[in-house]
Structure 1
Amino acid sequence: MYTGKSYKISEFLFWTRRNILWLLLMGTIPTILYQVFGFKWLSVPWPIVAFLGTAAAFVVGFKNQQTYNRTWEARETWGTTISASRTWAMMCRDFITDTDIAQQMIYRHLAWLTALRYQLRTTRNWESTGKSYNREYARFYSIPEKEIPIRTELAKYISTGELDTILSQHHPAMQLLNHQSNALTKLANEGRLDNSRFFELHKSLREFSALQGKSEKIKNFPYPRQYATVNRIFVWLFCLLLPFAMLKEFNELNNVASGMFKGQMVWLVIPFSVLISWVYTSLEQVGESTENPFEGNANDIPISQMSRSLERDIFEMLGKPDLPPAFDFRNNIVL
């Protein structure tokens, strides 16, 4: 998540510079053919390209709205998860009389949250972190889940035996919830947890399972690829045809130009076609970077920082003197 007032234009140009180079080439070639080699038949009627531009604007706007909704849903899900986690810690502290077991339950919950965020940071085929412009921009920030092994993080909260068991399973986060349920059942069977408190704590586990499912839904079900594909095709087809539609329009400006500019107005097709096309390609790229809010891009939900803030709150709640350090973030990008 970017926490600055706004991105610098230099950062945005760096991020989109490959598109700019392609657009520059796409604008230069037809202009040279038209102006230097006299291929006047290359001009395309403007209404055709304008209609295509309208269609491209529609699909880009639709995609960006839907991808924003995915990011907002992810933010709401994790906000609820953090709030429910604070409640869980308080209930464990107050409902379970054995302080060691209460702490064990709280720590196992922190392990669940850790396992879940590591699971959400794994890479999927449809995600965009592997694209060249995102790989280059990634050097401006750090992703804790990519730098710290999951075993190191989980070892702070659960025993070595449980850690080995959890990591040998296909779905560590779900197994930690299962261990929590087993521990609650054992306390209830031993008479150390009355029914009302047992059901209240178990209700929280069901809520955590549902919240995990919501996060996994966003992670594992991409923005429909047919819409993403049509969006890209429309945008780049418009960018390809735009210079051809502008040739005749700028050539007619020679009728009102004078001096050294007369006869040379067609060359303005290059900068103006690049500028207009860059707006479309940039919107498409922004939408793409918003599709998957857990993948590790600069605009993702800061699940690492949210989890660490929760850990610090819980440690203070338990009276622990040594709080875990907050994750470092660079260039106003918090993950």
Structure 2
Amino acid sequence: MNIGSHYKLNVFLRWTRKNIYWLFALSFVPTFLYQVLDWKWLAIPWVPITLVGTAAAFIAGFKNTLTYNRMWEARTIWGGIVNSSRTFAIMVRDMIQITDTAEAKTVHREMINRHIAWLTSLRFQLRESRNWENVKTKSYNHEFRVHYKVSEWESDLSEELKPYLTEQERTAVLAKKNRATQLIALQSAQLKALHDKQQLDTLYHIELQHLLRDFYDSQGKSERIKNFPYPRQFASINLFFIRLLVLLLPFGMLGECAKLGTYGAWLTIPFSMIVGWIFTSLEQVGESTENPFEGGPNDIPITSMSRTIEIDLLEILGETDLPPAIAAENDILM
């Protein structure tokens, strides 16, 4: 997530520069043929281009609205995880009725550590790559990765879980496919054991189980966004319509620009590039927004949010040895 006031123009132009190169070539060739070789028949009326442009503008706006909605839903889900995690911590601290203070602190810390392990496993799962994601496959996104790091790609989950789980639990969890799911199941098993020992009141047990259900719900919603892409049919027609528009633009502008004088036709090149760049940039921005957990610079900052939750939960337990907050790198917070 970019936390600056905006992307700088030079950064944005560098990110979209390959489109600019293609737009120059697509506008230069017909202009050269029209002006130098006198192929005046290349100029076409504006009507068909206007119709294609209207369709392209509509579908580009449609895509960008829906991809923004996907991103905002992901942010809402993780905002819910933050709130529920804080509630879980105070309920674990205050509602588990163990008379021995040392034992109580041990149980509290076990459950909080296991919850942090759940956050860690979930963010690792959400950062896994999918075929339809763009951050690793598109060259312009790959180049932009010099500006930030994705910690889940540079560290090992097994090592990350060591501070939070016993060796037995860590081995059992890592043997499963969906590690986050198993960690919530372990939480439920410990709550049941505490209830059976009469160290957790039935009403409090039910309330804590409701929170576990909320965590499963948030995990499922995150997995839905991760595993179900923006519909490929809409992504495809958006790409096709915009490419068709930028291909036709120079041919429509030739006749109009030629009216400006002897060399007016050459203005087709900059005008076509400007209009084409607007549409191709809309497509590229929408594409970079559609997968909010893929590890791109516009992702939901789940690494930073997980660390914020960890700090809050440890402070609720009275801990003072806290990990540092995640810092932004080049205004990008992951």
Query: What's the TM-score once normalised by structure 1's chain length?
Result: 0.96
Describe how 1:41-80 pairs up with structure 2 within 5 A: 41-80=41-80
Q: Quick one: which of 247, 255, 259 aligns to 2:254? A: 247
Residue 281 of structure 1 corresponds to 280
5 Å-filtered alignment, 1:37-116, equals: 37-96=37-96, 97=98, 98-116=104-122
**Offset, 1:189:** 1.6
Q: Distance in 2 between matches of 1:90 and 1:144?
A: 29
Q: Distance in 2 between matches of 1:118 and 1:318?
A: 25
For residues 188-230 of structure 1, give each alpha carbon's deviation from its aligned partner in whole angstroms, at most 9, with x where no partner exists. 1222212111101111001110111111111111100000000
Q: What amino acid does structure 2 have at the position aligned with 1:146?
A: W
Structure 1 runs not aligned, ≥5 long: 255-262
Give the length in aligned residue pairs: 327
Separation in structure 2 between the aligned mates of residue 186 and residue 213 of structure 1, nearest angstrom: 26
| Corresponding residue of 2:221 | 214
Whether contact under 8 Å (1:110, 1:157) holds in the other structure is yes
Deviation at 1:282, TM superposition (A): 0.3
Q: What are the superposed Cα offsets for residues 74-130 of structure 1, whole Å, 9 maximum, x if unpaired? A: 000000001100110111111113221121111101100110011001111101112
More displaced 10-residue stretch of structure 1: 154-163 or 277-286: 154-163
In structure 2, the residue matched to 1:314 is 313
Q: Do residues 230 (structure 1) and 237 (structure 2) align?
A: yes
Residue number in structure 2 paired with 1:292: 291
Q: Which residue of structure 1 aligns with residue 6 of structure 2?
A: 6
Aligned to 1:16: 16
Q: CA deviation at 1:326?
A: 2.0
Contact 1:121 1:296 in 2 (8 A): yes
1:313 positional shift: 1.3
| Cα-to-partner distance string for 1:142-178 (whole Å, 9 max, x where unaligned) | 1111122111211111111111111110100001011
For the pair 1:188 / 2:195, whether they are aligned, the reply is: yes
Match of 1:177 in 2: 184
Give the aligned partner of residue 146 of structure 1. Answer: 153
Look up the equivalent residue of 2:114 and give its one-letter code: R
Is the Cα–Cα contact under 8 Å of residues 78 and 303 in structure 1 kept in the other structure? yes
**Where does residue 269 of structure 1 map in the other structure?**
268
The aligned counterpart of 2:101 is none
- Work out the percentage of aligned pairs sharing the same amino acid: 51
- Cα distance in 2 for partners of 1:149, 1:327 equals 18
Q: Secondary structure at the match of 2:113?
A: helix
RMSD of equivalent CA atoms = 0.9
d(CA) in 2 for partners of 1:72, 1:152: 31
Distance in 1 between the 2:326 and 2:75 partners?
Answer: 19
Q: Which string of whole-angstrom CA distances, capped at 9 and with x for unpartnered residues, describes residues 234-280 of structure 1?
A: 001000000011111111222xxxxxxxx111111001100000000
TM-score normalised according to structure 2 size:
0.96
Structure 2: which 5+ runs fail to align? 99-103
Partner of 1:33: 33
Q: Which residue of 2 aligns with 1:330?
A: 329
CA deviation after TM superposition for structure 1 residue 291, in Å: 0.2
What does the per-residue CA deviation read over 1:273-311, in whole Å, with 9 as the maximum and x for residues that have no partner? 000000000011001111011111111111110110111
Q: Any idea what the Cα deviations from partners look like across 1:3-53, whole Å, max 9, x if unmatched?
A: 111111000001000110011110111111111111111112111101110
Q: Do structure 1's residue 202 and structure 2's residue 209 form an aligned pair?
A: yes
Q: Which residue pairs with 1:305 in the alignment? A: 304
User: Matches of 1:214 and 1:321 in 2, distance apart?
Assistant: 33
Q: Which residue of 2 aligns with 1:257?
A: none
Please give the secondary structure, in 2, of the residue aligned with 1:124.
coil
Cα distance in 2 for partners of 1:318, 1:205 equals: 19
Residue 258 of structure 1 corresponds to which residue in structure 2? none
